[in-house]
């Protein structure tokens, strides 16, 4: 009887370990939450190498406001105000607003919905959040340069909606959204002058960003393989387009840019670590982080993101 019980317990333990490994989530002990929600907690558990399925299961708080910036059904942005009630020690306006550009390989199949949990986490940390949708490759009618034009139109509309007291803005993008955020950074000063908001300074953060789209298009994974759909051809077929659509070719040195940071996990299998380089950016490598850690508010990588926001 004892041996039978021991065998059953051992079998159960093996099953639990297998299920845990299948989800590819590691739990680590990390420093206290940088959102300042509870200064009495010395240590909290954070996730590492988070699968997309874990992000998809997170609860989502709908945006307080949906704003159209164009006539197309995909031309809108969501707005969440900063959740200052959750962080009573944070004064109103102490943390700069965040403009978010979601990823998804530029594909119509991946819309803004998969980034809502990330937006919720940022709002809970005390940031007003503006998350923009845009036309993408495929049925939504995007692709180069339509997608980028949508992004700049949305950013312009958001800037116009910001309080006049705003002096700093965080512009972040994940994966393909990081590619678009870096391109926007190179063009932002011109738009600020047109809007008479030249006093604004932008803190740019690329989260597993595609920095060298020409090199990325030559890869073989599922996201790399659809780069040619976004660009309507391969680098040797669209030489000029790939040049102007490549953040690696652009000098990110305008006065409007306060700082450019590339955050990259060393366990990312979708955007290789070699992408995390630009002459005008600092790079921070997150140990053990995968591609989706940056959009999961309970991950260790998300705390690193909060730490570089202004």
Around Cβ 287, how many Cβ atoms within 10 Å? Answer: 11
> Does the pLDDT of residue 192 top 60, yes or no?
yes
- The more confident residue out of 198 and 1 is 198
* pLDDT in the model for residue 25: 43
121: left (phi over 0), alpha (psi -120 to 50) or beta: alpha
CB 30 within 8 A of CB 290: no
Count: domains in the chain: 1
* pLDDT in the model for residue 90: 61
* pLDDT in the model for residue 87: 61
pTM of the model: 0.86
Banded pLDDT at 15 (limits 50, 70, 90):
very low
CATH number at residue 37: 3.40.50.1820
Q: CB neighbours of 253 closer than 8 A, spacing ≥ 6? A: 280
* pLDDT in the model for residue 91: 56
Joined together, the tokens standing for residue 209 give 């960003």
pLDDT in tens, 207-246: 999 999 999 999 999 999 999 999 999 999 999 999 999 9
pLDDT in tens, 290-304: 999 999 999 999 999
* pLDDT in the model for residue 194: 96
Q: CB neighbours of 243 closer than 8 A, spacing ≥ 6? A: 214, 249
Average pLDDT (6-27) is 36
* pLDDT in the model for residue 93: 55
pLDDT in tens, 144-189: 999 999 999 999 999 999 999 999 999 999 999 999 999 999 999 9
Bond from prior residue into 239 cis (ω within 30 degrees of 0): no
Long-range CB pairs of 224-230 (<8 Å, 24+ gap) are 226/105, 226/106, 226/107, 226/137, 227/105, 227/106, 229/106, 229/107, 229/137, 229/138, 229/143, 230/105, 230/106, 230/107, 230/136, 230/137, 230/142, 230/143, 230/144, 230/147, 230/176
Q: CA-CA distance, 282 to 258, in Å (whole number)?
A: 12
Give the chain's mean pLDDT: 88
> Does the pLDDT of residue 22 top 80, yes or no?
no
* pLDDT in the model for residue 188: 97
Full domain range(s) for residue 51: 2-308
Banded pLDDT at 92 (limits 50, 70, 90):
low
Banded pLDDT at 24 (limits 50, 70, 90):
very low
> Does the pLDDT of residue 48 top 60, yes or no?
yes
The answer to which of 8-22, 132-146, 148-162 has the lowest mean pLDDT is 8-22
* pLDDT in the model for residue 36: 41
> Does the pLDDT of residue 38 top 70, yes or no?
no
């Amino acid at each position: 009887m004892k041996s039978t019980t021991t065998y059953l317990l051992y079998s159960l333990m093996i099953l639990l370990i297998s299920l845990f490994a299948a989800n590819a989530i590691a739990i680590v002990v990390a420093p206290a939450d940088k959102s300042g929600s509870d200064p009495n907690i010395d240590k909290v558990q954070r996730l590492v190498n988070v699968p997309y399925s874990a992000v998809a299961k997170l609860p989502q708080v709908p945006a307080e406001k949906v704003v159209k910036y164009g006539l197309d059904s995909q031309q809108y942005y969501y707005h969440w105000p900063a959740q200052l009630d959750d962080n009573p020690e944070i004064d109103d306006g102490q943390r700069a607003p965040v403009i978010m550009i979601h990823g998804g390989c530029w594909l119509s199949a991946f819309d803004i919905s998969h980034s809502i949990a990330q937006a919720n986490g940022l709002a809970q940390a005390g940031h007003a959040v503006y998350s923009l949708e845009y036309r993408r490759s495929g049925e939504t009618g995007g692709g180069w340069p339509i997608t980028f034009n949508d992004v700049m139109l949305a950013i312009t509309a958001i800037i116009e909606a910001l309080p006049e007291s705003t002096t700093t803005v965080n512009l972040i993008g994940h994966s393909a959204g990081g590619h678009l955020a870096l391109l926007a950074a190179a063009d932002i000063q011109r738009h600020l002058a047109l809007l008479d908001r030249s006093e604004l300074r932008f803190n740019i953060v690329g989260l597993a960003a595609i920095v060298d789209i020409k090199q990325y298009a030559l890869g073989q994974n599922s996201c790399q393989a659809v780069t040619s759909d976004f660009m309507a051809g391969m680098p040797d077929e669209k030489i000029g387009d790939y040049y102007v659509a490549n953040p690696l070719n652009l000098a990110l040195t305008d006065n409007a840019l306060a700082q450019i940071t590339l955050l990259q996990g060393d366990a990312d299998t979708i955007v290789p670590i070699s992408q995390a380089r630009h002459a005008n950016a600092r790079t921070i490598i997150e140990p053990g982080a995968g591609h989706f850690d940056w959009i999961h508010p309970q991950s260790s990588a998300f705390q690193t993101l909060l730490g570089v926001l202004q």
